[in-house]
Structure 1
Amino acid sequence: MAIQTIVPYSVASDMTELDDIRDQLKDTGHPVATTDIERWIREQDLYTEKYRHRVYVSYSDILMAHKDWIADKA
C-alpha cells in the first residue's frame, strides 16, 4: 500500500510570479500592489523561490493572506 508523503513546500504548479498574482487579484474588487504581496511574504514567512531574477510564491498562500487582509479592512 502506497502512502502520500507530507511535503512542507508548495506544489510546483502552485508557484506563481508576484506580478502575475497582482494582475489576477485586480479582478477581485480588492486589488493590491506588488509591495503588499511582498509584505505578506515577509510577515507570514512564506516560502519563495527565485528563478531568472523573478520571485515565485504559492498562489494558495497569497490567496489566504489576501483573504485575511480583506477581513482586517472590514
Structure 2
Amino acid sequence: MAMDSIVPYSVASDMLTLKEIRDQLKPTGYPVTTGDIERWIREQDLYVEKYRGDVYVSYSDILMAHKEFILDRLN
C-alpha cells in the first residue's frame, strides 16, 4: 500500500538563496534588496534552511511577500 507523506516544508527545488531571489525579482519593475527579503522572513516567520553559509528560503513564500509589498506601494 502506497502512502503519501505530508511534508511541512517547501519542496527543495523551490528553495533559493536570497541573492538568487533578489535577481529573479529585479526585472519585475519592483526590485528588492536582500535586506527586504530578510525583513519579510522575520516578519512572516518564514522557514529558512542554512547550507554552506547560504540562507535558502521558499521562492513561493517570497513571491507572496513581494505581492504584498507591491500592493502596499500602490495604495
Taking structure 1 as the reference length, the TM-score comes to 0.94
- State percent identity of aligned pairs: 74
Residue 40 (structure 2) aligns with: 40
Give SS of 2:30's match.
coil
CA RMSD of superposed structures (Å):
1.0
Give SS of 2:5's match.
coil
1:1-74 alignment, distance < 5 Å: 2-74=2-74
1:73 maps to amino acid:
R
2:45 maps to amino acid:
D
Q: Deviations over 1:4-57 (max 9, x none)?
A: 332110001100000010011001000000000000000000000001100000
Identify unmatched segments of 5+ residues in structure 1.
none
User: Shift in Å at residue 3 of structure 1?
Assistant: 4.3
Give the aligned length: 74
Taking structure 2 as the reference length, the TM-score comes to 0.92
Counterpart-to-counterpart distance in 2, 1:2 and 1:65: 36
Moved over 6 A (4+): none
Identify unmatched segments of 5+ residues in structure 2.
none
